[in-house]
């Protein structure tokens, strides 16, 4: 049953999109789960197993990479769709389905687009080899995402439907492998061999000493995948197109606006368009079919996983380097530093403290997420270019113990003079709205405004009027600055820890 305030928010809405306005990991899972009650169809349209969403139900954590967060409502007859714009590793999805089976959760209404792109072993190898040999790596999740999208735009991709037609699969596979093998032939064979032993590559099953990839092994495995997924493959575009305006559709974004290949901190982005436009297109709809776009904002801090500029990062380079260090995890970090305060005077340690308080460790990779203050120039940019109607502020309770909150309100550009069309960006100039390209963002120094923290636990508060004054002031500041209402405030991980406007 929908509560009155949620019903009011959704008046006249048939298609709702929930997207992240930052670098991902803002808690989309919780809100897709929250609105799944309202939805008849839950669909995702971009990305692949690089995403990871955690849903807490009755205190038990569920982590999914490919299956939409709404799968837990399958038993209520809700349709869960993985759209044409995604890239799918069939092995991963089958693993997730077997997890659901083991937990006794049904997935009878899960449909995967016939035209979703296939991740093949060579994509994963290429992704991992590049990360190893490039001097400025992106810090990808190593799931083959970039190479799979490249193939799609390079017109050599395979799609899910090819799993059902072996001859077509084999012909396309051969063509696809040709240039990969040519590229990998220039790499130290020991590196390729080692990477192919990874569990995501079936522990070496696809390795061939003579041809590098065993076509036979790939065909055998993918033929089985086709049989196992047969009941779930469908023309999902048509289903969604026919449902617009008639059924409640929830579009679930993946990653975040600042990771979009079109709108993000290029080249430190993922290879799909994770904006609302890419999301709509990735499920076969026009963005005009979306009635409401709510953008999630982690507040009043931000996180980033992988490499790339992050102007407000606590401890700057030191933090980026630490978070990129192999083997650092939640447990090892705690063992290494002990308990760290969110008010530590040293910015690097303050970042560690915030990460620990907010539990910011990757669901997909387990990596520590880089942490920093909320960056309004980036948020202004994301909201402006992302058609955002309202904001969902998440993880507010994480900074309960913080005595001072800093908001980045502007940047000072500290880089070399740089032409932007006929406008010259000069050293020392200030920027209100971020220019997200990495070559510029990396030279932006944040200028902060300080606010007193609220310094009290807020996890049990359910009404906006009961929030501490200091927090209300901050929320209002952001609403006014961005010019969009904060429709929902999240004060904890559980479904109930949600304040609706």
Residues in contact with ligand IMP by CB under 6 A are: 23-25, 50-52, 138-141, 143, 145-146, 255, 259, 268, 270-271, 305-306
CB 234 within 8 Å of CB 112: yes
| 215-220 LR contacts (CB < 8 Å, sep 24+) | 215/170, 215/173, 215/174, 215/177, 218/120, 218/121, 218/173, 219/166, 219/169, 219/170, 219/173
In 305-353 the beta strands, taken as DSSP E runs, fall at: none
53 is catalytic: yes
Within a 10 A sphere around the Cβ of 57, how many other Cβ atoms? 12
Smaller CB separation from ligand IMP, 207 or 268 = 268
Q: Tokens for 108?
A: 């009878």
Integer Cα distance of 58 and 56 in angstroms: 7
* Vertex 241 angle, CA 236 and 247, to 5°: 100
Q: Which residue has the tokens 């093949």?
A: 120
CB 491 within 8 Å of CB 358: no
CB 158 within 8 Å of CB 172: yes
Smaller CB separation from ligand IMP, 264 or 390 = 264
Catalytic residue from among 25, 127, 151, 389: 25
Smaller CB separation from ligand IMP, 52 or 90 = 52
Smaller CB separation from ligand IMP, 72 or 148 = 148
Catalytic residue from among 33, 53, 127, 443: 53
List residues bridging with 371 in a β-sheet. 303
Phi, psi of 369 (to 5 degrees): -85, 140
List residues bridging with 452 in a β-sheet. 404
Smaller CB separation from ligand IMP, 139 or 311 = 139
Integer Cα distance of 363 and 211 in angstroms: 35
Integer Cα distance of 374 and 382 in angstroms: 13
**CB 358 → ligand IMP: shortest distance, Å?**
14
List residues bridging with 298 in a β-sheet. 394
Smaller CB separation from ligand IMP, 124 or 196 = 124
Residue 62's closest CA among 19, 33, 40, 24?
Answer: 33
Smaller CB separation from ligand IMP, 317 or 450 = 317
* Vertex 320 angle, CA 339 and 353, to 5°: 20
Residue 251 half-sphere exposure toward CB, CA atoms < 13 A: 36
Integer Cα distance of 415 and 127 in angstroms: 31
Q: DSSP 3-state assignment of 441?
A: helix
123 is catalytic: no
Integer Cα distance of 390 and 259 in angstroms: 20
| Cβ-proximal residue to ligand IMP, closest one | 306
Smaller CB separation from ligand IMP, 51 or 342 = 51
CB 382 within 8 Å of CB 342: no
The conformational region for residue 264 under phi > 0 = left, psi -120 to 50 = alpha, else beta, is: beta
Strand pairing report for 212-213 and 301-304: unpaired
Residue 166's closest CA among 109, 231, 226?
Answer: 226
Phi, psi of 8 (to 5 degrees): -60, -40
Phi, psi of 190 (to 5 degrees): -65, -35
Active site residues: 25, 53
């Amino acid at each position: 049953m929908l509560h009155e305030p949620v019903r009011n928010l959704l008046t006249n809405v048939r298609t709702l999109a929930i997207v992240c306005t930052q670098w991902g990991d803002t808690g989309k899972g919780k809100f897709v789960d929250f609105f799944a009650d309202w939805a008849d169809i839950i669909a995702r349209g971009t990305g692949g197993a690089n995403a990871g969403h955690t849903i807490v139900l009755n205190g038990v954590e569920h982590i999914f990479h490919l299956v939409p967060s709404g799968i837990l409502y399958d038993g209520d007859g809700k349709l869960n769709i993985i759209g044409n714009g995604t890239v799918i590793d069939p092995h991963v999805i089958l693993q997730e389905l077997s997890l659901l089976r083991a937990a006794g959760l049904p997935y009878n209404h899960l449909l995967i687009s016939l035209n979703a792109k296939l991740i093949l072993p060579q994509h994963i190898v290429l992704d991992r080899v590049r990360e190893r040999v490039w001097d400025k790596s992106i810090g990808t999740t190593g799931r083959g995402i970039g190479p799979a999208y490249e193939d799609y735009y390079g017109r050599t991709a395979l799609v899910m439907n090819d799993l059902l037609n072996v001859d077509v699969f084999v012909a396309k596979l051969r063509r696809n492998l040709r240039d990969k093998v040519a590229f990998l032939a220039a790499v130290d064979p020991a590196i390729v061999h080692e990477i192919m032993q990874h569990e995501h590559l079936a522990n070496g099953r696809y390795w061939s000493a003579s041809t590098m990839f065993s076509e036979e092994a790939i065909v055998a495995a993918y033929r089985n995948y086709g049989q196992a997924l047969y009941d779930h493959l469908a023309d999902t575009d048509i289903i969604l197109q026919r449902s617009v305006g008639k059924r409640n559709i929830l579009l679930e974004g993946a990653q975040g606006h600042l990771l979009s290949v079109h709108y993000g901190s290029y080249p430190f982005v993922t290879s799909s368009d994770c904006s609302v436009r890419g999301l709509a297109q990735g499920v076969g709809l026009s963005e005009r079919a979306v009635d409401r776009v709510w953008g999630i904002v982690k507040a009043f801090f931000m996180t980033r996983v992988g490499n790339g500029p992050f102007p407000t990062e606590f401890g700057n380079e030191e933090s980026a380097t630490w978070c990129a260090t192999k083997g650092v995890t939640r447990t090892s970090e705690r063992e290494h530093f002990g308990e760290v305060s969110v008010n530590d005077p040293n910015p690097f340690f303050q970042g560690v403290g915030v990460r620990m308080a907010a539990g910011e460790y990757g669901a997909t990779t387990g990596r520590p997420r880089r942490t920093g203050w909320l960056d309004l120039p980036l948020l202004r940019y994301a909201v402006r270019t992302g058609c955002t109607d309202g904001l969902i502020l998440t993880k507010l309770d994480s900074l309960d113990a913080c005595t001072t909150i800093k908001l980045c309100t502007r940047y000072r550009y500290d880089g070399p003079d740089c032409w932007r069309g006929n406008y010259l960006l000069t050293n020392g100039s200030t920027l209100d709205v971020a220019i997200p390209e990495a070559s510029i963002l990396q030279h932006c120094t944040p200028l902060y405004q300080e606010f007193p923290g609220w310094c009290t636990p807020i996890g049990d508060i359910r009404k906006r009027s009961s929030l501490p004054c200091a927090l209300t002031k901050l929320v209002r500041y952001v609403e006014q600055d961005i010019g969009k209402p904060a429709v929902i405030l999240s004060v904890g991980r559980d479904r109930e820890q949600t304040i609706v406007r």
